[in-house]
Structure 1
Amino acid sequence: MSWTRRRFTRLPLLAPALALPGLANLGGCARPSFGSTRPGRGSWDERALALRLWRASEPSGNAALSPVNLAAALTMATLGAQGRTRAELAEVLGVRRPDTAVEALAAHVARWSTLEAPALRAANGLWTRSADALEPSYVRTLEQRLAAHSETMEDLESGREAINAWVSERTEGQLPALLEAPLDPATLAVVVSALHFRGHWLEPFDPESTRPRPFHRDDGSEIEVPMMTGHGFLRRAWSERSQLYAVEIPYSAGAQADAQIRESELAPDDASEPTPSLPPRFDMLLILPPRDQPIAEANAQLESGALAELLDMLETAEPLTLYVDLPRFSIRARTDVRALCRSLGAEQAFGQSANFKAMTKAPARIDHFEQLVAVDVDEAGTVASAAAAFGIAARSMPARFSADRPFWYIIRERGGPWLFLGQYSDPEA
């Protein structure tokens, strides 16, 4: 089987063998397509974490989540926690010790830094309102083990735009406004993790073949979308039990790496020769739910073992000629990570009993935690970014009371009668 036949070749508009309604819910996630994806004994099961986070996010409509980016942010929060707070966050991560996640994340970043393609970069950052706001040991851990950038800002709210600019730069402008809402005046620090992916298809779709074609919504309605069309020699799998249908569309690993992989596949099998070390490969894995089942209902199958079965089938599948119709699409999604964590049993980190003594001497809690994701898919490939941020705020009452909105007032004798009771709501009345 020649490499030429296996490449994803361009084609004029043809009748598809695989049409992809509901694709937008997949969020353009990439995964390695060579070698086993099963975690080793005692290792961190990142696939299980991804599915837990996906379920807890309660996806609807167009949705996107970056599990590895969220894992990085959750790991940095867990490193600063103690007691029950730490145990609950570690349970969300699926690790007994946060060091397990730290080591895995550091290994990912080291591996990605050697890629010729796709472009895949991760970055972490830490901003504090004073040099002594956080424990020096915590800051050193993030700097040394997770390569975090650290900076002190006297006024974090005034520096919010600088934090957004840092994220925008590391996501090539795809995420210009991670922090939209004003920060709590009691915020001691903001911790951010960013991820950026830019991958070109191994063979791009031909833009001239893109045509307006119907996309079939789950409610039975149709809408025209720019539908890309192509065909190639691709790995696919269909499960008769679950009725899930999947295909892998590979990204280029760069000219040199693609040539190395091509030579390896064309070389005859020789048990006496050592197997060459191949560069990591990435693909977009597309999955169709059963035709008669809305994708919101089919989401439950992803954790039922049906997805694991499908992935096992793909690992051993032989590439076959396949026609593909794929919408050109863009998604922007913001996730409230506090709600997600609470649904997975991590409550204490966000309340008045939070224990972040490994991070700061001050009684503190996570006061906001969100992730912003952007995914753009077109004929050339995929650009996707994610950034997650959490703020650590003092658990005491805010240092400022600002009556800059309607309020009630009571003039009283303490322990005695109320002399006046009123409200102020309109300065022009």
Structure 2
Amino acid sequence: MTETGAGGETKAAMRRALTLPADASQEEVNESAVVLMKKLRASSGAELTIANGLWVDVRATIAPEFARVCQEVYDAAVRAVDLNEPSAALAINQWVAEKTRGKIPHIVTPEATANLAAVITNAVYFKGKFCDPFKKEATQPKPFHLANGGEKLVPMMRQGDLQGAYRFGKRFEAAVLGYEGSAIELYMLLPTKGVGPEEILTEESLADLFVEQEPVELDLSMPRFTIDFTSQLKAPLTRMGMGIAFQYPGADFTPLGSPLFFIGEVIHKTRLEVDEEGTVAAAASAVMMALASARRGDSEKENPGV
């Protein structure tokens, strides 16, 4: 959604980072997003919700066309709020908590939203049952080998005679677990001894995941676990080539509403719960749109909102 509001080299850099076609029109990119969301939501057996939001400071001006695309293409809720007031952060957090079924209770603070021009939010919630659930009575405490060489005692689930679930690559083995009535799958990767997890997360390695191997019966042991992850994405997105979007001068978000806009930070949170029956997952992101000048211009004061 943020890419829709970018122009010039900023849009080009964002498309490279997001692996979007450089020569595609904005209409084509928007349509592909609609098709993808419809495809993901079509799963009858799993629960999947995808929500978008645009929170605009009452003193800022957002381009009407950008607001229209957010509403009509991305089904986003567009709201005018006073981002200098703690109530705005509270409203954003309540929205995220609602859309993620309480799995992510908050994503921003009043200090983080103060003096921003807008906040662009996304929230995803997924709940699915495994096609081949694990038997709870088979779960036993077992050692789990950590990336740093240590061990941790965890509740280890076990499932034997899995058909079509085994994958392998140059430096890993993997299991693919499907969900009832859904095209979504869970990929569990086991690096080869001496290989770190980050080393196998490459485009070349991951391509092997999607090649179905010769049919074998897989005897799978994997932990029952819950993971919470929080990150600020400015640094990794900059390493991916999107640094211009965080710079002023440099960033071009004129289609969003002002040549003074740039991204201050991107906050991301994820929660993943995997047990014998299936998976519950939630994720939320907040793109913090800042204004280059702390003092907003008179024209923006005269034309608040969207």
Alignment TM class, shorter chain as reference: 0.7 to 0.9
> Paired residue for 2:281, among 377, 384, 393?
384
**Bigger Rg, which one:** 1
The answer as to whether partners of 2:266 and 2:287 remain within 8 angstroms in 1 is yes
Which is richer in strand? 2
Name stretches of at least 5 consecutive residues in structure 1 with no aligned partner.
Answer: 1-75, 254-279, 400-429
Structure 1 residue 287 displacement after superposition: 1.9
1:77 alignment partner in structure 2: 2
How many residues were matched structurally?
290
Distance across 1 between alignment mates of 2:264 and 2:214: 47
Superposed CA deviations along residues 45-92 of structure 1, whole A, max 9, x for unmatched, are xxxxxxxxxxxxxxxxxxxxxxxxxxxxxxx22211122222211221
1:347 alignment partner in structure 2: 243
Structure 1 residue 325 displacement after superposition: 0.8
Q: Give, as a single letter, the amino acid of the residue that structure 2 aligns with 1:91.
A: R
Name the SS for the 2:241 alignment partner: coil
2:268 alignment partner in structure 1: 371
2:302 alignment partner in structure 1: none
The answer as to whether partners of 2:271 and 2:283 remain within 8 angstroms in 1 is yes
Q: Give, as a single letter, the amino acid of the residue that structure 2 aligns with 1:237.
A: R
Distance across 2 between alignment mates of 1:218 and 1:185: 39
**Against the structure 1 CA distance between its residues 180 and 228, is the aligned structure 2 distance closer, same or farther, given a 3 Å change threshold?**
farther
Structure 1 residue 395 displacement after superposition: 0.3
User: Is 1:395 paired with 2:292?
Assistant: yes
Superposed CA deviations along residues 122-171 of structure 1, whole A, max 9, x for unmatched, are 11001112286211111001101111111111345421111111111111
Name the SS for the 1:347 alignment partner: helix
**Against the structure 1 CA distance between its residues 180 and 130, is the aligned structure 2 distance closer, same or farther, given a 3 Å change threshold?**
closer
The answer as to whether partners of 1:331 and 1:376 remain within 8 angstroms in 2 is yes
User: Is 1:293 paired with 2:195?
Assistant: yes
Name stretches of at least 5 consecutive residues in structure 2 with no aligned partner.
Answer: 297-306
The answer as to whether partners of 2:7 and 2:253 remain within 8 angstroms in 1 is yes
2:210 alignment partner in structure 1: 311
The answer as to whether partners of 1:157 and 1:183 remain within 8 angstroms in 2 is no
Q: Give, as a single letter, the amino acid of the residue that structure 1 aligns with 2:58.
A: S
Structure 1 residue 105 displacement after superposition: 2.0
Q: What are the residue-to-residue correspondences of 1:244-283 with 2, within 5 Å?
A: 244-253=172-181, 280-283=182-185
Say what the alpha-carbon RMSD is for the aligned residues: 2.1
Structure 1 residue 196 displacement after superposition: 1.0
Distance across 2 between alignment mates of 1:90 and 1:310: 25
**Against the structure 1 CA distance between its residues 223 and 116, is the aligned structure 2 distance closer, same or farther, given a 3 Å change threshold?**
same
> Paired residue for 1:215, among 114, 135, 144?
144
2:94 alignment partner in structure 1: 165
Superposed CA deviations along residues 172-213 of structure 1, whole A, max 9, x for unmatched, are 111111114623532111110111111111132122221111
Distance across 2 between alignment mates of 1:131 and 1:180: 19
**Against the structure 1 CA distance between its residues 228 and 166, is the aligned structure 2 distance closer, same or farther, given a 3 Å change threshold?**
same
1:231 alignment partner in structure 2: 160
Q: Give, as a single letter, the amino acid of the residue that structure 1 aligns with 2:78.
A: S
User: Is 1:175 paired with 2:72?
Assistant: no
2:52 alignment partner in structure 1: 124
**Against the structure 1 CA distance between its residues 392 and 293, is the aligned structure 2 distance closer, same or farther, given a 3 Å change threshold?**
closer
Percentage of matched positions with identical amino acids: 27
1:198 alignment partner in structure 2: 127
Distance across 1 between alignment mates of 2:147 and 2:254: 48
The answer as to whether partners of 2:71 and 2:78 remain within 8 angstroms in 1 is yes
User: Is 1:94 paired with 2:23?
Assistant: no
Structure 1 residue 245 displacement after superposition: 1.3
**Against the structure 1 CA distance between its residues 157 and 203, is the aligned structure 2 distance closer, same or farther, given a 3 Å change threshold?**
farther
The answer as to whether partners of 2:141 and 2:153 remain within 8 angstroms in 1 is yes
Over 6 Å off, 4+ runs: none
Distance across 1 between alignment mates of 2:104 and 2:42: 24
**Against the structure 1 CA distance between its residues 284 and 155, is the aligned structure 2 distance closer, same or farther, given a 3 Å change threshold?**
closer
